Structure 1
């Protein structure tokens, strides 16, 4: 049988074999090391990776992005429907994520549950990032609902089934959950929200407009609205026993990326709701959900970087230019080594934070609170540049949608914006260190535990502490957060990947370079060898 790479009209040459693209599990030594170090379930993560790598699941993910969600506002009789129609591919990937326990494994009692969840975020983000959003909200909604006494909703939210039917909650064994906080006039300043809540018939009725609502076909939404006591948190079911609730879909957002996920604008038109937590304490109630979504927004950029660097290394291993294989070109090694260090550091840091989420002690909880904000900031700020450089490694091929690079590039800015943009996160870091002594102590303890392993780390930590004092004024928050992020990343790498990766990262610590490969680092070949280790 004639090969499709050897046709009568032309011969395909100097192109890597698509069948040799690095896999999600066996070819990711960094993931396996970090997951083991965090105490996660390698079998569950590896099985999920195998599922995602099947041709059927890859096709479903592509279909979810190609056949976009469609707003279905009215039926043929003119009655409002307020529904969103998704492609079968969307439902297939969503169901696979729930069956694997992406949303549930952290709450099922097994050791390392949050680390296993983080691995599933990392894996799915490389295949179809948009469907991570509704799965992440289900994961993050469990502690918020349990803390508010709604164990019934939490139990159905944890169910590993997938039931997309538009029917009341009581008729479904498995539930999904969305979130609607953002309004036009406030953005991240949710205290400026103007949606109103009025008591009625033993419950509450909500009236107002939400500029951004993720996953509008969810069975319920956590939302914020003003009462006489102030901003309060509510659970709003999409369906009531006698029909749809007063939630009106206005339009779907025409986003740059994350297109399989139907983000929307909605209006509450007297929507029936139940208050969660204390009246006027809405931010305190919903912050538990935000805290857990931040773990995923810190983990996802590590995944995007890994996917991009995997594509770049696969390309240069199988392509020649100017008489040599690209990966043997000294300058290409410099570029790739820089990208590898960023991807490896982001992965190590993400799993170090997940390990703290799994901790039972007060010190772990305090470190998770400050660490997840630092990881979210630095991992996302690295992501855009890494993906862009990796795309350039592929040349013109990287700019076309035959490769995953354009999708990865469109996704790269997302997690820096959602759940608190860069400035919000940096100011949150300052407030946390100033107001929560245990968080500052826990952060210092993690950094001090890494001392004595590498002279470069010890010197960088001393410089940081000598110059930062009690923390900068708000204008210096970004530089301060970046320094902390680099130090935490270095500590995580020393723990998860001592040797060429940690040494290479520490050798460039404190260098603010805008161009990958500009540092002329030594040992680029050893860094690439450590990254490409498939044992």
Structure 2
């Protein structure tokens, strides 16, 4: 084929092929013996396209109106409510330390680790290639990177080794919140390590050996004897197939051995099956089992002091809705060695100190999940246009985002106030406050994350921006360490049987009297609300009672510590009736300036 003349116009391949085929057809239709020049026809095809409109190249992949990736930010300084709480209930040194962690939390590198840890799930290795039992779980390196930051940031048991009243638990709570914005699965073993220390305090000799390792800032993965490690991680094993939250129904048996007391406790051999055991690569577990005297609590190490593996057969890993970076397993105990913690037959009482601490972390983790979802919604609205304007400038979207911001700030303030109670040793207030917060904040999280996801529309429903993972994660803390009903009934017990907790709660909310008429009215009604906890039929309405108590406490805390625009909008909407059923139904009287201010405070840049 000859090349076309230099002034020939380019023709698309599709059009050129079509004309060549039509030329062949015309040639075969000619009479026999007729000569024709196919060369001339081809030249004509290349230089004079019949349909020039098809030759134009139309750009179809120009990207417009798409939101850029979340920028690097500081998870502490971008969150005024959290930053103010650290300065209020801790000190400047604590703020400086959490600020360093906050910069790491808001980095692109941390988000990559989170994505990798949730894409490459843990893998169970039950046996070695030669057939020996291994019972190990392999994690992606990103998991270990996340764990290293959490442990080196002092998010495990370190606060229990610090003097009381110095803000150590507030510092740790703020750090736990900021780092939880990155990824929630690895915070499960971090939380259990933090919570194991108060339970081990029931046995001072045992605590003296284990707590320093649980409080270490050195992340030392791998199964080895405690003395060969620079730091340790702890887990928990309570739930069984038949019992769930009813741990008194546990069937795992613990038989006293002839070994005698070791490290301050009698030794036992445990046999049974644990239905949910998270983070099975931990160095030790607090486990409940039946003894002749009743339920006992036992410290069960993975590796014994002589280097021998303690029988701890991992049957399978759970295929979970969320929390997929973290390994949750079923474990078979068969003659597994353990040391009793606390008094014989008082295991539930002993482990409740661990449960209380993990419930606090449920509140912290849920407030962080709220926060992470809110940031993505605000960031999207600041960059996405619809109907000629940025979403963040449109009144209805402002209403939604402002409403989400109120929910997030109320959760954060309550969580940090509870951590402050731990610092102060105020068990009377934390007893009722943690149960209220665990129920309410964890219940609100899935609803809030769903609304934040909807702010992004279809972009929120895909995996790339992280909201889909947050949505799968959102229900977990409401289930872990007692579901909603369990916590609601716990509130009833505290309100009806522990007058000191009731008085501590009332003292806290009464500090906010005079701020807003709706809040004053809610506070005045509290004695009657609390009195109903003792009614024989109170159980059926327990959730209603808990909601009233939790909302009033959140409103009182915001009235004391938040800017007036935040407190007033929260009280008017949550207690004053100026709110619908869904987010985005704040009273229309809320000025646009106030709504914009709430959104700006939600993600300070």
Q: Tell me the TM-score normalized by structure 2.
A: 0.84
Unmatched segments (≥5 aa) in structure 2: 1-57, 260-266
Residue of structure 1 equivalent to 2:133: 80
The whole-number CA distance in structure 2 between the counterparts of 1:307 and 1:84 is: 29
Note if contact 1:29-1:532 (Cα within 8 Å) is conserved in structure 2. no
Query: For the Cα contact (< 8 Å) 1:367–1:443, is it kept in 2?
Result: yes
Alpha-carbon distance in 1 for matches of 2:581, 2:108: 38
* Corresponding residue for residue 523 of structure 1: 590
Please give the residue correspondences for 1:137-286 in structure 2 after superposition, counting only pairs within 5 Å. Answer: 137-149=192-204, 150=206, 151-202=208-259, 203-240=267-304, 241-286=306-351
Matched, 1:342 2:342: no
1:4 alignment partner in structure 2:
none
SS in 2 for 1:216: coil
CA apart distance, 1:196: 0.2
**Partners in 2 of 1:242 and 1:370 — Cα distance?**
43
Once the 2 structures are TM-superposed, how far is the Cα of residue 10 of structure 1 from its aligned partner? 2.9
**Residues 128-184 of structure 1: CA distance to partner in whole angstroms, max 9, x if unpaired?**
100110001111111211332211111111111011121112211211100000001
Q: 1:242 Cα shift?
A: 4.4
Q: 1:508 to 1:220 in 2, by over 3 A?
A: same
- Following the alignment from structure 1 to structure 2, what is the Cα–Cα distance between the partners of residues 524 and 300? 32
- Where 2:201 maps in the other structure, the secondary structure is helix
In 2, Cα distance between equivalents of 1:8 and 1:161: 54
- Counterpart of 1:398? 460
Compared with structure 1, are the counterparts of its residues 193 and 528 closer, same or farther at alpha carbon in structure 2 (3 Å cutoff)?
farther
Q: Are the counterparts in 1 of residues 529 and 545 from structure 2 also a CA contact under 8 Å?
A: no
- Alignment deviations for residues 30-87 of structure 1 (CA, whole Å, 9 cap, x no partner): 2111222222511111111122333333322221111110000000111110000111
Q: Report the CA distance between 1:457 and its aligned residue.
A: 0.8
Which residue of structure 1 lines up, in the alignment, with residue 21 of structure 2?
A: none
Q: Tell me if 1:484 matches 2:549.
A: yes
Alignment partners' CA distance in 2, 1:468 and 1:432: 10
1:457 aligns with 2:519: yes
How do 1:123-134 residues align onto structure 2 when only pairs under 5 Å count?
A: 123-134=178-189
CA-to-aligned-CA distance 1:390-421 (integer Å, 9 cap, x gap):
00000000000111100110111000000111
Greater RCO structure (CA 8 Å; 6+ sep): 1
2:491 matched to 1:429? Answer: yes
2:349 matches 1:296: no
Deviates most, 14-23 or 488-497: 14-23
Where in structure 1 are there 5+ consecutive unaligned residues? 1-6
Q: State which of 531, 535, 550 in structure 2 corresponds to 1:469.
A: 531
After the TM superposition, list the runs of 4 or more consecutive aligned residues in structure 1 that deviate by more than 6 angstroms. Answer: none
Find the aligned partners of 1:109 and 1:229 in 2 and give their Cα distance.
Answer: 35
Deviations 1:442-469 (A, max 9, x none): 1111111111222221012223434553
Tell me if the contact between 1:253 and 1:264 (Cα under 8 Å) persists in the aligned partners: yes
More divergent stretch after superposition (30-39 vs 501-510): 30-39
| Deviation (angstroms), 1:531 | 4.3
CA distance in 2, matches of 1:26, 1:237: 40
Q: Secondary structure at the match of 2:545?
A: helix
TM-score, normalising length: structure 1: 0.95
Alignment of 1:310-329 (within 5 A): 310-329=375-394
Q: Deviations over 1:360-381 (max 9, x none)?
A: 4xxx221011101101111011
CA deviations 1:420-458 (Å, max 9, x no partner) are 110000100110121111111111111111112222210
Q: Distance in 1 between matches of 2:414 and 2:287?
A: 31
CA contact (8 A) 1:247 1:271 kept: yes
User: What's the counterpart of residue 3 of structure 1?
Assistant: none
Mapped to 2, the partners of 1:430 and 1:233 lie a distance apart of 26
Native 8 Å contact 2:374 2:404 kept in 1: yes
SS at 2:256 equivalent: strand
The equivalent residue for 1:63 is: 116
Say whether 1:357 aligns with 2:414. Answer: no
Distance change >3 Å, CA 162–CA 21, structure 1 → 2: closer
- Cα RMSD of the aligned pairs, angstroms, is 1.8
* Distance in 1 of aligned mates of 2:540 and 2:588: 32
Match of 1:514 in 2: 581
